[in-house]
């Protein structure tokens, strides 16, 4: 894991700073570079267009650097990077030039008045991007990952590189992973077949029967006290009921620990 991307400006400033500090601390363990990005839109006006756009880029760069100055970089290489256009389009274009191994997002404010776990932009990134995503709760302080709870419905993994980030985390932190397979009403017999790679990194395995994957996860979170929750992002998986909307409501899912979302086969 060499390059980690952290978008700013998706939520409250305090969350951006907290998520950035977590990303820095996390990146230090992997000796990774952190790209801190913020988007700006070119002016549609003609005339002095190049000068206006240059100014917008400089203002965005200053805004990123101001946020970065508030955190402890701990020797990690941090690159401030303004990106032009919409975030959902800018990140894939940037990934074509620089391999991005992980995207770090912050969950929404843990306020009773805020019904969202992820806002529209963050939710859309989870839904659409090919990049593995780590979602960090508000004000969550970094600590070494020692126990991981991975929740799956199907043990079939067609995208072989999907497990790469998880393998690196397990290796770097010398962590253990408990695999929880949840059987719901639409569970298929072939779902019981566990992928060979997945089986090789599993320390313990448990099967649970629940109405939904959400219920199964929440039931076992308190039992296992993991440092990290890991799920697949696939249409018949953890976020299947959330495909219609980009936002994710807290009533549907909320987490007090970091959530690693891997790209599975659709």
In this prediction, residue 234 carries a pLDDT of: 61
Fold match between domain 3-136 and domain 147-258: yes
Q: Which CATH class is domain 3-136?
A: alpha beta
In this prediction, residue 248 carries a pLDDT of: 44
How remote is the C-alpha of 179 from its chain's centroid? Answer: 19
First and final C-alpha spacing in the chain:
24
- pLDDT tens string, the chain, 266 residues long: the values are 999 999 887 665 556 788 889 999 999 999 999 999 888 876 555 444 555 656 888 888 998 999 999 999 999 999 998 888 777 778 877 877 778 899 998 775 454 444 444 555 555 666 667 788 898 887 788 999 999 999 888 888 888 789 999 999 999 999 999 999 988 888 888 888 899 999 999 999 999 998 877 778 878 877 778 899 998 876 544 555 544 454 444 444 445 788 898 886 54
Q: What DSSP character marks residue 189?
A: G
Cα-only R_g, the chain? 19
CA-nearest of 218, 244, 250 to 231 is 218
Instruction: Kindly tell me the burial class for residue 99, based on how many C-beta atoms sit within 10 Å of its own C-beta (0-12, 13-18, 19 or more).
Output: exposed
Angle, alpha carbons 161-165-168 (nearest 5°): 115
**pTM listed for this prediction:** 0.83
Question: Hey, where are the domains in the chain?
Answer: 3-136, 147-258
Architecture of domain 147-258: 3-Layer(aba) Sandwich (3.40)
DSSP β-ladder status, 133-136 and 259-263: antiparallel
């Amino acid at each position: 894991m060499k390059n980690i991307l952290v978008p700013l400006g998706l939520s409250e400033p305090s969350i951006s700073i907290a998520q950035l500090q977590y990303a820095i601390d996390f990146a230090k363990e992997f000796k990774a570079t952190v790209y801190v990005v913020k988007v700006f839109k070119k002016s549609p006006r003609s005339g002095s267009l190049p000068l206006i756009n240059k100014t917008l880029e400089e203002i965005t760069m200053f805004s990123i650097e101001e946020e970065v100055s508030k955190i402890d970089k701990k020797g990690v290489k941090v690159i401030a990077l303004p990106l032009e256009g919409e975030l959902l389009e800018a990140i894939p274009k940037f990934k074509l030039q620089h391999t991005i191994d992980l995207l770090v997002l912050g969950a929404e404010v843990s306020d009773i008045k805020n019904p969202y776990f992820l806002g529209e932009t963050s939710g859309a990134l989870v839904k659409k991007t090919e990049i593995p995503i780590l979602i960090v709760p508000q004000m969550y302080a970094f600590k070494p990952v020692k126990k991981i709870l991975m929740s799956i419905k199907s043990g079939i993994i067609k995208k072989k590189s999907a497990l790469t980030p998880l393998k690196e985390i397990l290796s770097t932190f010398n962590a253990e992973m408990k695999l929880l397979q949840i059987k719901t009403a639409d569970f298929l017999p072939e779902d019981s077949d566990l992928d060979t790679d997945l089986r090789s990194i599993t320390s313990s395995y448990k099967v649970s029967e629940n109405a939904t994957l959400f219920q199964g996860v929440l039931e076992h979170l308190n039992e296992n006290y993991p440092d990290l929750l890991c799920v697949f992002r696939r249409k018949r998986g953890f976020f299947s009921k959330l495909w219609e909307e980009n936002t994710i409501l807290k009533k549907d899912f909320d987490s007090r620990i970091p959530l690693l979302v891997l790209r599975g086969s659709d």
